[in-house]
Every structure is written in C-alpha cells, then in structure tokens.
Amino acid sequence: MDKILRVNMSELTVAEDPVPQAYQNLGGRGLTSRILLDEVEATCHPLGINNKLVVAPGVLSGTRCPNSGRLSIGGKSPLTGGIKEANAGTPLSHQLASLGYKAIIVEGLPENDEYHVLYISEQGARLEPAKDLAGLGMYAVNEKIRKRYHEKVYVMGVGQAGECRLSNAGISCNDPEGGPGRFAGRGGLGAVMGSKKLKAIVVDTKKIFDAPVTDKDKYGELCRKFVKILRGNPVSGQALPAYGTNVLMNIINEAGALPTRNFKYGRFEGANKVSGEELSARATARGGVGTPTHNCHPGCVILCSNIYPDENGEAIVSPIEYESAWALGPNLMIDDLDVVARLNRICNDVGLDTIEAGGALGVAMEAGVVSFGDGQGAIRLLEEVGKGTPLGHIIGQGAEAVGKAYGITRVATVKGQHMPAYDPRAIKGIGVTYAMTTMGADHTAGYSVSANILKSGGFVDPLKAEGQVELSTKLQIATAAIDSFGLCVFVSFSLLDDPEGWPTVVDIWNYKTGGKYTLDDVMEVGKEVLRVEREFNRRAGFTPAHDRLPEFFRTEPLPPHNTVFDVPPEEMDRMNEQFNMLR
C-alpha cells in the first residue's frame, strides 16, 4: 500500500498516512504541485513555517520502465515567489517508490538551530540529529553519512547555500555511484529544506524496481519495446549517449543562439573548447574513473551523464551538463573546460543551481566585480558563497539579487529565475516557454528547442514569431505529463518523432496502474498540472505582467541574426487563459 510520509520539523515527528483518493493517480510534479495548492497558503513566506517541501517519485518510478527515475521536489520558491517543481534523475526516486512512498511532505520549522537527517529504510522513517553535518558541503556530507550508516545508502541534501537559506540553493541528489551531482536545482528549494533544518534525507534499501505493476510480464515486454524506441532515436540513441547534453554547445552556437557575455552575443568563439565533443575527448584521453557517458539513475538507457576527470584521471565533477557548461563558460566568456569543471564542482558542493550561479556570476561581471573571461576570478567569487561572506550572500541568491545589489538592468530573468542556455531572440519558441511558464525562465518546462533547432516533432523557424506560442504550449502540456510520470524529458524526442512512442508510454501507464487511459488522458494530466500551478501563482499574486521577458530582449538585437524577441505578449496571454480555471 502506498503511503504519504509526513515529517513535522516543529515537533520532530514523522507519520505515515494513507494516500487520499484524490492523489491516487498522481505522481511526480503532478503530485507535488497538487499538494502545494491544497496545503500551502500561496502568500506565505517561502522560508517561513507555512511553506512545505514536497518530494514525490513519478508515477512510473520504481519500475523497470526505462528512464523513469526522476524525483520531483516542490515548494513555494524563495527565488520566484511562486510554485516550484524541480526534478532530478537519481536512484532515490526508484527507491522511494519501491518503498511505497507516494510523497514526503516536510512541514513546520524547528525553534532551535539543530539540524536533522531523515533516515528512511524498509523499517520506516525517523529523524536523527545531524549536528556533525552542519556547515558542510555535499561531498563531505555524503562521506560522513556513508561512514555513519553504510556505503550503499543514497542521499539527498543541502550544502552551505541551503543552510544559509540563499534563494539559489538547490537540493543535491545522488547518482548511482553516490556522487552528489544530480540536482533538483532550480528555484531555491534547497533554501526551503535548509530553513526547516533538514540537512539530508538518507534512503537505505536495496529495493529499486519493486513498485507493483499489474502484469509483470506484459510490463517487461512494453519496457523493452520502449527501450528500443529510445535507442532508435537519433537524439536519445546517438547524440546524447556520445557526447551528453553538451552535444548542444556547438549546435546552439552554430544556430547563433548561444548566450555569450551575459546575453550580449549569440555566438562564442571559444564554444568548441567547452563542448561535449571536447569533454568526451578529454575524459577519454585522461582515462578517468568513468566512461565519458554515464547514467544518473538505474534504468536509464540514454546515458547522457558524464564524469569529468582532471589530468591525473581523478574525477573533478559529475556531470558537466550543457546548461552548466554554458552558464559557467560562454556566458562568462570562459573557454577553459577545466575552469568550468571547477566552478561546477563548487556548485555541487555548496549546493547551488549551476544555471542560476552562472547567471549570478555573469551579472557580477557586468557590474565589474570581476572581469568577463576571468576564470580564476569567477572561482574566487563562487567560493565566497560557501564561506558565507557578504559577497557570497549576494552571489548565492542568484542573478536577480546580484542585479539589485549592483544596480544592473541587464539581468536575463523571468519571475526572478535566470534563463538557461538559449537566447530567446534567436530561439523564440524557448522564449515563449521562459515567459509563459509558472516556473520562471525554465527550458525544461517546454523545450521548444526540439522543433526550433533539432527539428524533432516538426520544424518551427526559430527566428520568426509565428507558431511559437502553439509549439511551446503543446510542449508545456506534454512535459507536465512526462514530469508527472517521472520520465526523463529526453524521452520526448521519441515521443515526438516515433509513432509508437506515446502509445507505448500509455500502455506502460495502463499496465502500471490498471487504468484504461488514452493519449487524451495523458494530455489532460499535463493540462491539469498547468492549471494547478497557475492557480497557485494566481493566489500568490502573479498576473500576465509577470509572463514577460526583460525589456532588453525586445529592444536589443542579438548578433549574428540581429533579431529581437517579438512574440506578441497578448498571444501568450490568450493561450495561457485556458489554464486559468481549475477543473
């Protein structure tokens, strides 16, 4: 029987509750967002006693469905002030689902400053004191926790950034080797966890694919079919396994949409030096501890992750994603992959979202705190966060806060969250997603890059305004469903391009739940997620005025295409209206 684990940090109690009927068919993002709408007053202080942190594996997590190991984490965002869901691929998702945990709800606030760890095993859950972990980064936290319990536990937790309740604090989740580099990074949920003085959640079980399905044989057959579909797709079967997500560096640079020097240019001369091809070549040459490609959770068949070694073959960091390589590279005019790796490692240790951290450094460079291109300067700046200096407190809050501290207007944020690695003037579909989604600038909320650049699911000219709102909306709906299933967003290339894609996922869903769902039902799952999230934000005080890009994107042409973002805001507003009413 599935259950909900309720952890009260005011009382230091844990309780296992049955899953309410209304939540039976929900999972992942669909469940975290619904619980937030039902239980959290939208106007509450994100770091106060009334916010909650909700963790939920996807509907398909805990099964052998390929790439179903995404773990959703939700809360009211300290960064945006709105609803937030961030997900990470991690064994923890399969484990929690296998243990029957539909969701973990962390609520309340302790009155003192003592940190705790939530320890979960097959015997149940309990809070344990964690004084010894306070003040530590995620590498040390993982080491200490494994010393305290044993080598095979998995961990999610916060570094110094979360303890300091900085609005760019992410939540670190383990990869299969126990590395801390899989982040539910965006939107500052690490600060919510830190505010509750919950340093980490430790899961101790060998169960990984133990969630029940209705027909094991048929389910296995469908999963194998889905594996084949994923492996047959050129993006998820070839490009991503070969070079990881950072295969995009040269592609987006070529497209003239690689935000360079804090969104001033669309191309960067040194892009190739920090590309996936270079990463793969270096990792192979240096004979590191892993292959150049690597998985983030068991059951992944795409293997887009990586472990990046130094010259002696010792791992510096895992993974270097495209978004991170861009944020900490071209965005800062840095073309040295080793510097990018060091910066990425600091983020993983202190517990910062790399996109937002790169954005913050870019704005700091804009302000002249250090110069563009100064890699050692960037490392020094980022190290301040873990040290807790005033400058660290500024940087650790993300790009918008740095802009405010230094009076800088050139800040590429929407709803306070920094844009990822695609300039919305040269890939207008992603600009629409940045603007429309409740999440703040977020590429994963509706990855229009697929049709704009990768020509997956058709082609919509990235430089034209036409068709982008429709494209983005369709993807936002589908993505909200994918995030609810616990599937990796990279399955979507197959879903878009392979006629067998969606039907197979629908079949898997039916054999998981015993339902008789259709593709329409999938889309209804997605729409309902968007409605729920929009309703939360409406209550929190959001209006269409917040669904806008910063003004310089409308007025300053981006070389080399010299285009501006000119999708009519009214078109986005009209489209969003369909999500304004809860069913």
- Site residues, a second copy (CB under 8 A): 42-45, 47-48, 50, 78, 164-167, 191, 194-195, 389-391, 393-394, 397, 401, 404-407, 409, 538-546, 548, 550-552
Nearest approach, Cβ of residue 127 and a second copy (Å): 21
The answer to whether 178 and 144 are in contact (CB under 8 A) is no
Half-sphere exposure (Cβ direction) of 99: Cα atoms closer than 13 Å: 24
- Based on the number of CB atoms within 10 Å of its own CB, is 543 exposed (0-12), middle (13-18) or buried (19 or more)? exposed
Q: How far is the CB of 161 from a second copy (least distance, A)?
A: 10
Closer of 140 and 391 to a second copy (Cβ): 391
DSSP 22: G
CB 340 within 8 A of CB 360: no
User: 243-270 burial by CB neighbour count: b if 16+ within 10 A, else e?
Assistant: bbbbbbbbbbbebbbbbbbbbbbbbbeb
Separation of alpha carbons 361 and 369, rounded Å:
9
Nearer to a second copy, 47 or 227 (CB): 47
Are 185 and 170 in contact by the 8 Å Cβ rule? The answer is yes
Instruction: Output 102 or 425, the one with its CB closest to a second copy.
Output: 425
CB of 44 to a second copy, least distance (A): 6
Least separation in angstroms between CB 54 and a second copy: 20
Q: Are 423 and 259 in contact (CB under 8 A)?
A: yes
Angstrom distance (rounded) from CA 190 to CA 400: 17
**Choice between 58 and 396, CB closer to a second copy:** 396
Cβ pair 154, 178 in contact under 8 A: yes
CB 400 within 8 A of CB 546: no
Nearer to a second copy, 47 or 140 (CB): 47
> Using an 8 Å Cβ cutoff, are 290 and 308 in contact?
no
Answer yes or no: are the C-beta atoms of 90 and 182 closer than 8 Å.
Answer: yes
Nearest to 200 by CA among 147, 152, 134, 151: 134
Smallest distance from a second copy to CB 543, Å? 5
Task: Compare residues 191 and 478 and give the one whose CB is closer to a second copy.
Answer: 191
- Give the shortest CB-43-to-a second copy separation in angstroms: 5
Q: Looking at beta carbons only, is 113 or 151 nearer to a second copy?
A: 113
* Least Cβ distance, residue 291 to a second copy (angstroms): 40
CA 330 to chain centre: 21
Residue 325: Cβ within 10 Å count: 33
The gap from C-alpha 280 to its chain's centroid, in whole angstroms, comes to 23
CB of 1 to a second copy, least distance (A): 36
Which residue, 97 or 164, is less far from a second copy as judged by CB?
Answer: 164
DSSP H or E run through 73:
strand 70-76
Identify which of residues 202 and 401 has a Cβ nearer to a second copy in the complex.
401
Order of all β-strands in the sheet with 198-204: 124-129, 116-121, 198-204, 154-157, 171-173, 182-184
Between 70 and 165, whose beta carbon lies closer to a second copy? Answer: 165
> What minimum distance in Å lies between the beta carbon of 362 and a second copy?
17
Q: Which is nearer to a second copy, 389 or 580 (CB)?
A: 389
Residue 232's nearest CA partner among 302, 292, 296 is 302
- CB of 238: closest distance to a second copy in angstroms? 43
Taking the complex as a whole, the smallest distance from the CB of residue 547 to a second copy amounts, in Å, to: 9
